[in-house]
Structure 1
Amino acid sequence: MTPAAYLALVLTVGAVCQLVAYRLRIPSILLLLVAGFGLGQLLSPEKLLGRDVLFAGVSLAVAVILFEGSLSLRFRDLRGLSRSVWRLCTVTVALAWVLITSAAMVAGLPWELALLVGALLVVTGPTVIAPIVRQLRPTRRVSSMLRWEGIVVDPIGAVLALLVFQAIIVGGSEGALATAGLTLVRTVVVATVLSVAVGALLEVALRRYVIPDFLEGVCFLAAAVGAFVLSGALQPDSGLLTVTMLGIYLANRPGLRLEHVREFKENLQILIVGTLFVLLAGRVTPAQVVEVAPTAVVFVTLLVLVVRPASVWLGLLGTEASRAERTLMAFMAPRGIVAASVTSVFALEIEHAAERASERALRGGETPVETLALEADAERLRSLVVESADLVPLVFVTIVVTVAVYGLGVGRLAERLGLATTTPNGVLFAGASTWARQAAEVLGRLGVPTLLVSLAPSEVMQARLAGLRVERTHILSEYAVEDMELAGIGSLVAATYDDDSNSTAVKEFGRTLGSRQTYQLSRQGVGSKDTQRTASRLTGQIAFDPPLTAPELERRVREGMQVRHTRLTDKHSLAQFEEREPDAVHLFTVTGRTARVVTVADPAPQTGVTLVALVRPRV
């Protein structure tokens, strides 16, 4: 098979796995790893692509992922959480490193490799956190903590692993500490200077409209990749820290609009994640997994049951994080692509270091003592190469098990703690007019959570008097779009009197809820001619059957119609209901505690649901 055909196959497998995982509501990483592992037994990525090309591509892809993730890290999201996030990225990391190192030594790894594994596995990562958060949809506080920890700790783990690696290669406590300290200083200085310089240039270019809209994503990608490569040239393995700091710098510049960049990067990240996991999983063989299994069982068990809970509870002690939040964080640490890729790179670097040491030993030193020292160092590194053969499969097993345990189990835990729901079934109303308040009351009695959003003081006051959950803000305000709590909400009905706001809200919230779950009222005064109709891409699904405008719905309420619910059964079907209520407006159907918006294209079924409709008053 040619490299082009192989890459096409990998892309296809990655896309299919992510689609199937979405339908099955399971972490996509699991399917990607299993598929990559199976494909790797038939086709070796290293043989088809070459080791140098493979690792170069992996390194660039990981840089893009971290840059994309860091663009979402805004300091304002840390309101009320700054101490918790700071502890997660410092104290918790240090505790985790010590505990993971200890667990690795208990599992049988030599202390040098145990230190390296400890540094590699302090990370979680956006590639595994983001899909779980997208599926779980936890509270804003939990989501912020998970995202900040996942993205910021990745480069910290990579730098920490680099320092440990340098110390291992140098050998000797004094030389190792001096080398590690110098490396750390250089890494931080290079990353800081480059990220601020490149970020400032991009900011100026964006504010002065030097870059056209359609090229923003491409230019920012090129800048991030260029900064990553330049940083690595100035100080090896400093690139991940550089791109992460660059993303955080840009995300927190006031008034800087990055919508085009974020949208471009989000799509690219999904593509890259699918490809990377398939490629890296393909490098592991069944024999390697079987050989490392006894060590992996002990190690991963300690990781899940001891290391993560202890490091989180101790690290977050005395912070603003609630007991429930600490509990959820203690059982949420899946490992991702950074752990896999950096481990593969360092395993290869250990081999290169051993080869270089052997060459120096063959050349000999100036004195017999120096020659003996060079030979001893070469022997030490050769033995380390043998011992490090299990590094990649051990981390592979760790990724699979932690993704499975946390990804499949965290949903129930989050629901019990009241911090998320795996089946969001609530309805968000943009607008709080009379019929919307009545609908929210009826849905609430049926066990469906609702949220009303309105700027009108009278609507907000009446909603609060009715005991409804309401936010006084505009549906397109920065607070509503980016900060409003949407845990438990599954669909949107944009029902304001402003049709343009409704259409924009549908598109904006479609990114979070999915376009399939966002609806708007019928637009006012729209004719049937092409010159009068709104472009289809600028409007969402039209809610209700029959579809009515906001003034028409309010007029019917003024005429005395009310929102009520009716159970549709074999004895009282939809047809019988329509015969009795010919003027009814079908709004929602409720099954269990899940509401579905009724539309002309997707009408209410004849039986088996509870119909929520606007009907004439009972005589």
Structure 2
Amino acid sequence: MNPAIYVALVVGLSVAAQWLGWRLRLPSLLFLLVVGFALGRAVSPDEVFGRDLLFAGVNLCVAIILFEGALSLKLRPVRDLGRPILRLCTVTVAASWLLVAVTARLLGFDLRVALLLGAILVVTGPTVINPILRQLRPTRRVSGLLRWEGIIVDPLGAILALLVYQGVTSIEGASLWHELGRLGLTVLVALLVAVPVGLGLTTMLRRHLIPDFLQGVVFVGVALATVVGSNLILEESGLLAVTALGVLVTNRPGVELDRVLEFKENLQVLLVGALFVMLAGRVTPTEIADVAPIGLAFVAILVLIVRPVSVQLGLAGTETSRQERFLMSFMAPRGIVAASITSVFALQFSEAAQNVRSQAASAMARDPQRGRALSAFADRLAGMSGQVDRMVPLVFLVIVCTVAIYGLGIGRLAERLGLASASPRGVMFAGSPAWAIDAAVALRDLGVATMFVTRRGYDLDAVRAAGLRCEAADFLSEYAVDEMDLSGIASMVAVTPDDNVNSIGSVHYRRALGRANVFGLRRSDEGEDGDATTGTVPALKALTAFDPPLEHSELDRRWRAGARVGRVRITDQMNWQQFRRSFPDAVAMFVVRGSSTVVATPSMTAPKAGEVVVYLGDRAQTPSSRH
């Protein structure tokens, strides 16, 4: 197939698969793998690109993905989690490696292959963790633990797999001290490359030497140069270098990365989808079926024994609660790094056996004894290569099963542990006018979580007196935007009296909540005729809340005139049209629909029977319509 056609097909199918996953609220990775398996029956990526070009591209794409993930690893929000994160990235990794290796050995793998498989499967990764976190929205602490573990362990797992591979394929063998020394050297090289590059890049940003429109592509170029340059100095140090670069850049004070993050988030979504489709296309259903009997047992042990034991060992005695440790014990989906490094090492293993056999043939004439030793070692490698080839479908089976198990089951578990909501539907109010507090009380009585973000002392007292959750912060502060715990919150309504503050807030909270879930009050400069000379730029506006949409001053005026918040359940006798006729002056604020809460707008779908409308109105509700 023509490479241009293949690339267009992969991108189109991957985007469609991810949209379908979002629409159905299911892990998109499952759809990507199904698409990849199906496309692979028609054309293999190896045939289109060749193995060398394919895996070179895969390695660079993985580096970009890890760099994008590392840019989200801010130290300040997890300053109270330093020790747990360190132990997750050390003790938990070591325990997981050994337990996976023991499991693989018990299931019939050669010990050396089992050690390689264990090294590969210590990784989780941002490509599978981030989509689950976007849907789940757990507490800040749980989110921080999962993000840091996934992003930091990915390059460590790749390095560990390389060290095991080199030890297995080296005829002289490698001592433990030699391997530890190489690990230390890898870390040192990665830091020596990442630190000066990061300092130089952030200095250029601070001095405005990189124009805004070039920041995204400059960061991509620097990330690629970093991974390639580090790998030239020492093989497989590049992923760790580019991860360290991301962590350094994002934690330097005075560096604004909004444009970079938005660009790289979009690029990451594209790369993840394409990589999964292409790598899955290299695995046939027959290969998956062949490893399924031991593969399913392997997955069960990983989920029920390996992960819980390794997490409990890693987090024992740390500043984590029992609920947090339990949730972490059942959250370890594998992603693109596991898939890519398995494919790479399987290919390299076969090539290593051939290279040793060639060396044996050359050495036989000069040194028969060494030639025989090399030949025997080549035979051992060839004997293991069959098991190594089975690792690829086995790892893909692990990816499919763990994503399905954790992606579909983690929500309910987190909800029962009180660490997240399986279907977040809470409302955050930025600002705290009296009518908003009254609306929040009505929502609370309907089982909807609410929170207020405000700094004014009087407002704080009023919110707390009503028994509502409140954050004493400016909702445009760095703490509120980057660190505030939004677990259970699905939408935000900016209700301050300052239209410009509301607009700025809508821009900042789009990344966390999504553009469709960020609302503000009608602005005072929005003329009826849509005058472009007075209206605000659409990119700086939130969706306009409430039906009919009113300005802050008008809502306050109605409240002072005696309007109060009420709620009415829509029934066959009191449908939406009848409600509008009965309450002609009412301002519909929210519609509670089972597992979701909708901020009312003029364009919303009309509430149906069983749904509850929370409104601000002058007329008292009739007893028959009250919820």
TM-score per shorter chain, which class? over 0.9
| Map of 1:128 onto structure 2 | 128
Q: CA deviation at 1:76?
A: 1.3
| Map of 2:441 onto structure 1 | 441
Say whether the 8 Å CA contact 2:171–2:374 is kept in structure 1.
Answer: no
Residues 338-347 or 164-173, more deviating: 164-173
Distance in 1 (CA, whole Å) between partners of 2:288 and 2:609 is 52
Say whether the 8 Å CA contact 1:304–1:331 is kept in structure 2.
Answer: yes
Say whether the 8 Å CA contact 1:228–1:243 is kept in structure 2.
Answer: yes
Q: CA deviation at 1:606?
A: 6.5
Work out which of the residue numbers 569, 575, 578 in structure 1 matches 2:571.
569
Distance in 1 (CA, whole Å) between partners of 2:577 and 2:222 is 62
SS at match of 2:213: helix
Deviations 1:351-395 (A, max 9, x none): 221121111111115433222222222222222223312111111
Deviations 1:31-54 (A, max 9, x none): 101110111011111011111111
Q: CA deviation at 1:180?
A: 2.2
| Map of 2:249 onto structure 1 | 250
Q: CA deviation at 1:207?
A: 1.1
Say whether the 8 Å CA contact 1:108–1:295 is kept in structure 2.
Answer: no
Q: CA deviation at 1:298?
A: 2.3
Say whether the 8 Å CA contact 2:583–2:619 is kept in structure 1.
Answer: no
Relative to the length of structure 2, the TM-score reads 0.96
Deviations 1:416-452 (A, max 9, x none): 1111112111111111001001101111111111111
Say whether the 8 Å CA contact 1:358–1:375 is kept in structure 2.
Answer: yes
| Map of 2:505 onto structure 1 | 505
Deviations 1:66-104 (A, max 9, x none): 000011111112232111111100100010011000001
Distance in 2 (CA, whole Å) between partners of 1:592 and 1:340 is 39
Q: CA deviation at 1:159?
A: 0.7
Say whether the 8 Å CA contact 1:44–1:282 is kept in structure 2.
Answer: yes
Q: CA deviation at 1:607?
A: 4.4
Q: CA deviation at 1:603?
A: 6.1
Q: CA deviation at 1:519?
A: 1.1
Say whether the 8 Å CA contact 2:84–2:320 is kept in structure 1.
Answer: yes
Say whether the 8 Å CA contact 1:115–1:164 is kept in structure 2.
Answer: yes
SS at match of 2:539: helix
Say whether the 8 Å CA contact 2:425–2:449 is kept in structure 1.
Answer: yes
Work out which of the residue numbers 583, 586, 597 in structure 2 matches 1:584.
586
Structure 2: any 5+ residue segments left out of the alignment? 622-627
Residues 213-222 or 523-532, more deviating: 523-532
Distance in 1 (CA, whole Å) between partners of 2:203 and 2:67 is 19
| Map of 1:149 onto structure 2 | 149
SS at match of 1:374: helix
Say whether the 8 Å CA contact 1:195–1:246 is kept in structure 2.
Answer: yes
Q: CA deviation at 1:578?
A: 3.2
- Change in 2 beyond 3 A, CA 1:223/1:606: closer
Amino acid at match of 1:616: D
| Map of 2:355 onto structure 1 | 356
Q: CA deviation at 1:559?
A: 0.7
| Map of 1:309 onto structure 2 | 308
SS at match of 1:356: helix
Say whether the 8 Å CA contact 1:604–1:611 is kept in structure 2.
Answer: no
Amino acid at match of 1:333: A
Q: CA deviation at 1:579?
A: 3.3
| Map of 1:616 onto structure 2 | 618
Distance in 1 (CA, whole Å) between partners of 2:387 and 2:402 is 24
- Change in 2 beyond 3 A, CA 1:127/1:603: closer
* 1:31 has 2:26 as partner: no
* 1:548 has 2:550 as partner: yes
Q: CA deviation at 1:604?
A: 4.3
Distance in 2 (CA, whole Å) between partners of 1:593 and 1:123 is 34
- Change in 2 beyond 3 A, CA 1:604/1:598: farther
| Map of 1:337 onto structure 2 | 336
Amino acid at match of 2:289: V
Say whether the 8 Å CA contact 2:35–2:277 is kept in structure 1.
Answer: yes
| Map of 1:237 onto structure 2 | 236
Distance in 1 (CA, whole Å) between partners of 2:605 and 2:112 is 65
Distance in 2 (CA, whole Å) between partners of 1:286 and 1:436 is 56
| Map of 2:209 onto structure 1 | 210
| Map of 2:105 onto structure 1 | 105
Amino acid at match of 1:183: R
SS at match of 1:319: coil
Amino acid at match of 1:288: E
Relative to the length of structure 1, the TM-score reads 0.97
Distance in 2 (CA, whole Å) between partners of 1:502 and 1:178 is 59
Q: CA deviation at 1:287?
A: 2.1
Say whether the 8 Å CA contact 1:27–1:408 is kept in structure 2.
Answer: yes
| Map of 1:477 onto structure 2 | 477
Distance in 2 (CA, whole Å) between partners of 1:354 and 1:576 is 79
Distance in 1 (CA, whole Å) between partners of 2:608 and 2:244 is 56
Residues 359-368 or 179-188, more deviating: 179-188
Distance in 2 (CA, whole Å) between partners of 1:117 and 1:592 is 45
Say whether the 8 Å CA contact 1:166–1:180 is kept in structure 2.
Answer: no
Distance in 2 (CA, whole Å) between partners of 1:555 and 1:116 is 70
Distance in 1 (CA, whole Å) between partners of 2:577 and 2:34 is 49
Say whether the 8 Å CA contact 1:168–1:176 is kept in structure 2.
Answer: no
Distance in 2 (CA, whole Å) between partners of 1:384 and 1:572 is 73
Distance in 2 (CA, whole Å) between partners of 1:281 and 1:59 is 16
Distance in 2 (CA, whole Å) between partners of 1:293 and 1:464 is 56
| Map of 2:199 onto structure 1 | 200
Identity %: 51
Amino acid at match of 1:196: V
Amino acid at match of 1:160: L
Say whether the 8 Å CA contact 1:492–1:518 is kept in structure 2.
Answer: yes
* 1:594 has 2:596 as partner: yes
Amino acid at match of 1:220: F
Q: CA deviation at 1:326?
A: 0.6
Say whether the 8 Å CA contact 1:167–1:179 is kept in structure 2.
Answer: no
SS at match of 1:355: helix
Say whether the 8 Å CA contact 2:506–2:540 is kept in structure 1.
Answer: no
Say whether the 8 Å CA contact 1:36–1:277 is kept in structure 2.
Answer: yes
SS at match of 1:532: coil
Q: CA deviation at 1:258?
A: 1.2
Residues 368-377 or 478-487, more deviating: 368-377
Distance in 2 (CA, whole Å) between partners of 1:415 and 1:607 is 27
Distance in 1 (CA, whole Å) between partners of 2:90 and 2:178 is 22
Say whether the 8 Å CA contact 1:170–1:176 is kept in structure 2.
Answer: no
SS at match of 2:80: coil
Distance in 2 (CA, whole Å) between partners of 1:516 and 1:158 is 38
Distance in 1 (CA, whole Å) between partners of 2:348 and 2:522 is 62
Amino acid at match of 1:518: V
Q: CA deviation at 1:62?
A: 0.3
| Map of 2:71 onto structure 1 | 71
Distance in 2 (CA, whole Å) between partners of 1:537 and 1:178 is 57
* 1:287 has 2:289 as partner: no
1:389-538 to structure 2, matched below 5 A, reads: 389-527=389-527, 528=529, 529-538=531-540
| Map of 1:94 onto structure 2 | 94
| Map of 1:59 onto structure 2 | 59
| Map of 1:163 onto structure 2 | 163
- Change in 2 beyond 3 A, CA 1:573/1:374: closer
Q: CA deviation at 1:597?
A: 1.3
Distance in 2 (CA, whole Å) between partners of 1:491 and 1:397 is 36
Distance in 2 (CA, whole Å) between partners of 1:171 and 1:333 is 35
SS at match of 1:267: helix
Distance in 1 (CA, whole Å) between partners of 2:433 and 2:67 is 43
Residues 501-510 or 57-66, more deviating: 501-510
- Change in 2 beyond 3 A, CA 1:603/1:344: closer
Say whether the 8 Å CA contact 2:525–2:534 is kept in structure 1.
Answer: no
SS at match of 2:421: coil
Q: CA deviation at 1:271?
A: 0.2
Distance in 2 (CA, whole Å) between partners of 1:569 and 1:357 is 78
Distance in 2 (CA, whole Å) between partners of 1:577 and 1:296 is 58
Q: CA deviation at 1:476?
A: 0.9
Residues 82-91 or 571-580, more deviating: 571-580
Amino acid at match of 1:320: E
Distance in 2 (CA, whole Å) between partners of 1:262 and 1:348 is 34
Distance in 2 (CA, whole Å) between partners of 1:352 and 1:571 is 75
